[in-house]
Amino acid sequence: NTSTAWDAFYSNGKVKVIREITDQYDDKANETGRVTLRMAFQNDKPWVIVKEESSGEGARPSAITKVGWDDSGSLVLKDKLAGGQASQATSEEANALYQHAVQALAQAQAKVPKPK
């Protein structure tokens, strides 16, 4: 079972940042994990995404993934830290985060008031 909350920040009618928190629960409604995504957008495309995974609210992240793309769409940031070990995020992980951010942007952008 999961529960997701999100908010978005916009400027000049365009979403710039989305923050999404998903809490995971067991069958007895005990929190078993939390995934926090912070997604930044540039030119209406995902630019930088930070994903933090932890055991729950207030817990230090056990894994942090940072991915980012340049203006041409090339993956230029692919850092991952899990269990104290640094590595690189795979292209599959980066693509999954990118696709998620595209969907989140479409949902958030639809709720932004039109500029006056």
Per-residue confidence (pLDDT) for residue 116, from 0 to 100 = 73
pLDDT in tens, 62-82: 999 999 999 999 999 999 999
Per-residue confidence (pLDDT) for residue 24, from 0 to 100 = 92
Position 29 pLDDT exceeds 90: no
Instruction: Label residues 15-47 b or e (16+ Cβ within 10 Å = b).
Output: bebbebbebbeeeeeeeebbbbbebbbeeeebb
Position 14 pLDDT exceeds 80: yes
- Element (DSSP H or E) covering residue 106: helix 91-109
Distances (CA, A) of 107 to 6, 35, 100, 103: 11, 19, 11, 6
**CA 104 remoteness from chain centre:** 9
Per-residue confidence (pLDDT) for residue 79, from 0 to 100 = 98
pLDDT in tens, 76-101: 999 999 999 999 999 999 999 999 99
% of the chain at pLDDT higher than 70: 100
- What is the DSSP secondary-structure string of 82-95? ETTEEEE--HHHHH
